[in-house]
Amino acid sequence: MGYIADKISWQQETSTGKFLDGEIWIGQIDNNTFASIADKHGDALVTCYIDRQHLASIAAANNKTENEILKSMLPNKPNMRSGDFGEILSRSVLQEWKDAPTFPANRWRNRSTPNEMIQGTDLVGYLFKGNEPHKDDLLVFCEVKTRENGGDKDVVRIAYEGAVLDNTTRLVNSLVFLQYSLLRDGLGDEAKKLARFSDPYSHPYQKRIAACVVHETNKWKTEYLDVLPDRHELPEEFFVIIIQLEELAKWIDHIYENAQ
């Protein structure tokens, strides 16, 4: 059951004259709305870092509380918390949005230390039309950038260019590592089904590209969208999604400090 997408106030941006062959969406979350879902989002965030059963096992083996183990695993540097928060928020939104593709991989578990950088495509999701390859199977990948302090006029460009790069050069490697991640987490059937995306010539499918920006509401400027091209000119669906959260920095700190 989803907890967030239907709480967001959505508006399609059509006044810029940009991205005419794609779509630009602005989603706003005010303080009261986020307060009502903060506990659910905190739980979703924790699960992205570690399976709850594994957390309990590690805690018991080390004679520590689950909260002690969890706190030792979560990032504590502001930039790492900000980036992870934005990616996990975007994941929650995208898997409830439109036709609700699934995003089963937890890339935030791919760390040896709490503040280690994670390379590769930020989010990879998919939607299968049946048990056999189908031309309407959907592969989704997304680049996410988070800015709680504003002032970065290039943030949309950076997210957009990262999403294009995912499409042109990172796709094959991203799928291989995603399969490994799913196998590691005991999702062998999902990993096997992903192989249908490995050969688009034998098994054509659909692609959806998304560039997400998670931004402080009161520091967002519409002119940040001016960096987008008039047209992206790619055959795939392409969305630019701006998720605005009121008092974003406060909520990032709140979620991490209260995670349990």
Res 193: pLDDT: 86
In a domain, 216, yes or no: yes
In a domain, 181, yes or no: yes
Res 230: pLDDT: 97
Counting as low any pLDDT under 50, the low residues of the chain are none
Res 174: pLDDT: 86
Q: Smallest Cα–Cα separation from 128: which of 104, 166, 102, 98?
A: 102
Between CA 182 and CA 233 the distance in angstroms is: 33
In a domain, 6, yes or no: no
In a domain, 10, yes or no: no
The pTM of this model reads 0.96
In a domain, 4, yes or no: no
Overall domain count for the chain = 1
Buried b (16+ CB within 10 A) or exposed e, 51-62: eeeebeebbeee
Give the bridge partners for 146, in sequence order.
Answer: 214
In a domain, 14, yes or no: no
Res 29: pLDDT: 97
Res 170: pLDDT: 80
In a domain, 1, yes or no: no
Q: Which helix (H) or strand (E) holds 89?
A: helix 78-94
Between CA 89 and CA 205 the distance in angstroms is: 27
**Residues 128-146 pLDDT 10s:** 998 899 999 999 999 999 9
Task: Note whether 113 and 214 are within 8 A (CB).
Answer: no
Between CA 81 and CA 110 the distance in angstroms is: 15
Q: Which amino acid is at 106?
A: N
Res 172: pLDDT: 80
In a domain, 8, yes or no: no
Question: In terms of residue numbers, what domain contains 208?
Answer: 19-257
CA 47 to each of CA 44, 120, 130, 207, 226: distance values in angstroms, whole numbers, following the listed order: 5, 20, 28, 27, 37
